[in-house]
Structure 1
């Protein structure tokens, strides 16, 4: 009978920890308050070489964690169970990353823990929101070429730069992720994705100082669903076209989301002095609730921060198959809808259906602006939609 009780107790312990009973567990073996950089890397490397499923456990408590790269390929699926809080050096600003996961197939990160980037001290020396000639601060968490992965139930707090950056990923899901930084924190994008295929960001909360979700070039098949965003700069496709050799963007769905007190809402932005000729297509925004959002719907093909380009030149990024449907709520300024497309490559196949955006300011009512686009209109249009003559696209 004693042996039976032990087995049941062990089972419940694994359940409480959120660990799989058939996975080998590698504990960092460090006390709270310690620097776990070396211990975590050692535990990860051992787990990575284990022939069957494994878990690296960071127990409850606060730990210091320096710059670290956890790199595969691994022999079997691997999981990081972060139950405690790992804290970065608040003054460390000499690297482009804090934590990196690279070249791992079959990866999980969960446990309900916190990545605290301690960005407050670093934000004071960050001037990247004023000039592109600046030294980048560390991204909190990088996922480089990670496939078949699920990131669930973790929190990223006060990143020095981007909270999460994803590149080269395939089949990756972020679920119940919480991202928090003050509205005034510069360049603290929540989740930035690019050159990846098949990413889902669902049922998450992002409150930060820059884009909640930003989409770079080469992104294909992205789903953002049931995400609450704000404060921040909204959800952005781009900016695109600043650099040469950029790749096409396609298959973007932003659905059933709430944006509150954001500086922008649903935005697509391209540089007018594009260094390449690529496209962004099959982009759909649907069932979005707005709460005092500035620039709720915005296509900006004259995006030119810091006046680093010639706005007289036309963007060479081709935008097509774009829809905004069932967008409702309140605007923080009178510019509720702005579709400012390229005079060189006017937007093609743009649809708007059931737009109901209200503005109650003294300089109202809300307005709808468009250039170089003739959108297809369906259902309600508040504010009243405009139409724009479209010049013939350049060949």
Structure 2
């Protein structure tokens, strides 16, 4: 992995260099030191201001040079911008403050954020380090009895209402919480990322999508303490392919409907990806109190290696598993396809469709699935409750038809 990824970066960067923006604004020219100890936030803001307000209607860019380590406090880059395309080229290293106190009086949910920027391209061969350890050590999820524990921690990259944007060719590590958040955006592409944080870190999703449409995530390596990729509410036309996931909780739709809201998720395609020692593989999770629909979902050409729950739908998702009372409501899950899925499960139940008695899963189609135990010769089973569908060539059988 360490050998292959730089090659991927070089190939991606060559393409980017041949199309460098017409007007470049180097953060060194605005007073950045690149020493990794001084706050370089103002230099970044000033370079962004001039790039965003540039007189050109073509392209402009902010350059973060290769030689340097740049300390940034919480920062928001605002649009709309005059140029039709804005490049944010990270060739060096950007690091977050090591102490949560740097967020005192500020929005603790974000570190580097872009808002209302159309045509934004964030890329480079650089490293972005969220320095999340101090946040993990005071997380209420893992330290509920700790005085001053925190439920909310910063996301490394947050893209808010950024249409027709891209994020590519970067290494993003050790986020305090989610690494990349895409929200209220359309036509956003993520490609060739390496995202990593330790397996035991709280809520460190690799990429989370919410209220966004026409999003593509491809050719990336993601390992974290939570979902490699999670798909939130009000999303449609999402394409995910060629992802190496692990460690983590798999690629998940949800959880959805926690507060009884109307869920709208459709046209999701997840393909040609692999999962290694994750807690889940292809997962859909909803709360009973939710309403609305998850529909037209395809999981295809997936490989599982020592995964606890390779295929799982959980319509009884709950803060404490098995402790929530039965509800008569639920999110309708329909038209879900599982095709060409292979590999090993570390638990006895390789396929687990735990659907609601009140709102059954319907239109489930399974074809060419073979899941065996991580332990050679150990028998496997499926548990498919309140689900209606068909299967061809499925082992272990779910519907028996």
Q: Same fold (TM over 0.5)?
A: yes
Aligned match for 2:228, one of 200, 206, 212? 212
Aligned match for 1:103, one of 76, 98, 116? 116
Please state whether the residue corresponding to 2:320 is helix, strand or coil: helix
Distance (Å, rounded) in 1 between the aligned partners of 2:60 and 2:305: 44
Partner of 1:58: 64
Q: How many residues align?
A: 371
Distance (Å, rounded) in 2 between the aligned partners of 1:262 and 1:16: 33
Tell me, yes or no, if structure 1 residue 165 matches structure 2 residue 172. Answer: no
Is there any run of 5+ residues in structure 1 with no aligned partner, and where? 1-13, 389-395
1:37-76 counterparts in 2 under 5 A? Answer: 37-52=41-56, 53-60=59-66, 61-76=68-83
Aligned match for 1:31, one of 11, 30, 33? 33
C-alpha displacement at 1:130, in angstroms? 7.6
Please state whether the residue corresponding to 1:278 is helix, strand or coil: strand
Change (3 A) 1:165 1:85: same
Aligned match for 2:93, one of 62, 73, 85? 85
C-alpha displacement at 1:345, in angstroms? 1.0
C-alpha displacement at 1:332, in angstroms? 1.4
Structure with max Cα Rg: 1
C-alpha displacement at 1:384, in angstroms? 2.5
Is there any run of 5+ residues in structure 2 with no aligned partner, and where? 1-12
Partner of 2:272: 256
* Contact 2:342 2:371 (C-alpha < 8 Å) held by counterparts: yes
Tell me, yes or no, if structure 1 residue 125 matches structure 2 residue 138. Answer: yes
Structure 1 ranges of 4+ moved more than 6 A: 14-17
Change (3 A) 1:130 1:299: farther
Distance (Å, rounded) in 1 between the aligned partners of 2:376 and 2:369: 22
* Contact 1:341 1:372 (C-alpha < 8 Å) held by counterparts: yes
Q: State the TM-score, normalized to the length of structure 2.
A: 0.88
Q: State the TM-score, normalized to the length of structure 1.
A: 0.89
C-alpha displacement at 1:129, in angstroms? 5.8
Distance (Å, rounded) in 1 between the aligned partners of 2:168 and 2:16: 14
* Contact 2:259 2:289 (C-alpha < 8 Å) held by counterparts: no
Q: Alpha carbon RMSD of aligned pairs, Å? A: 2.2
Distance (Å, rounded) in 1 between the aligned partners of 2:399 and 2:289: 27
1:264-303 counterparts in 2 under 5 A? Answer: 264-274=280-290, 277-303=291-317
Range 44-53 or range 251-260, more displaced: 44-53
Distance (Å, rounded) in 1 between the aligned partners of 2:280 and 2:43: 42
* Contact 2:137 2:143 (C-alpha < 8 Å) held by counterparts: no
